[in-house]
Amino acid sequence: MPELPEVETIRRIVERELVGQTLEAIGLRLPKLMRASPLPTLDVLVGRRITAARRRAKVLIIAWTGDLSLMIHFKLAGQLAVLHADGSRHVAGHPVPDPTGDYPHKTTHLIARFGRGTCLYFSDVRQFGWLRLLPTADVEVALAAFKFGPEGIGHGTPTPEELGARLARRRIPVKLALLNQSVVAGLGNIYVDEALHRAKIHPLRPANALTDAELDRLHEAIPWSLERGLEQGGARIIRQRAYPQDGFPQVHARENEPCPSCGSPVRKIRVGSRGTYLCPTCQPAPG
């Protein structure tokens, strides 16, 4: 958390609520968040207007007048909130701070004030997220350094053959391969579990051993899982666990609950360091 659906939800909030707005004041309470930033201070944004918001993998890019862009990575616990003077609010990302509570919170590190009483708050209870301010012309070079793979949803998603080629070079468990952002950009723990369950693939299956039929199912399941998350505005997290809404997630964080496909109890295992949920009947163990 946050994963691609959460970051895409944040992007849509910025696009809908802040594009066209001019920044009147900005305060950064935690300067270390400006990690590897070509421009070390956000003060130069005051007086500039937001012109666009886009996303690459889990990175949000906010474009400003004057050919500047602010890149934001939410890492494990980033949250963005936009509050208006009329009391309306739009919050996405990590559940801390409480989206219905008071802002700024003690974990709020960035406060940006726009006209008509609109405020943007960036919070991060774990302080792993980062901000980078740079010329817009340099954004693509900065993104290229991450070596992101194709997007898991929308324009540029890989074909089954391309997905197979990316996995064929990896003998590690397919769960870990899919978490690698150079294979498919934007996938995280929740949505990999959901995609593998839908594709009926055990998370410990070697990534380079998938059959053509499994690759076809996985190719369909990856965007399916991300789209379901996006429909909900991102996963709902309660007590650090994904809380099902309208039957999704189907297996993640649902240990001992019945699999929606066959009724077998969902199991939790560890793959690498990641808690992983699966149905042992729908996703038989390898070998």
Which residues are tagged catalytic?
A: 2-3, 58, 274
Alpha-carbon distances of 107 from 88, 98, 255, rounded to whole Å = 21, 11, 31
Tokens matching residue 270 = 């560890």
Give dist(CA 10, CA 259) in Å, integer.
31
- Report residue 180: phi and psi, to 5°: -75, 120
Structure tokens at 40: 């070390």
**DSSP letter at 284?**
P
Alpha carbons 152 and 233: distance in angstroms, whole number: 16
Gap between the Cα atoms of 221 and 194, Å rounded: 8
Q: Label the pairing between strands 78-83 and 89-93.
A: antiparallel
Amino acid, res. 153:
I
Q: What is the DSSP letter of 158?
A: P
Task: Identify the residue whose tokens are 């380079």.
Answer: 208
64 near 71, Cβ under 8 Å? Answer: no
Report the 10 Å Cβ neighbour count for 85: 10
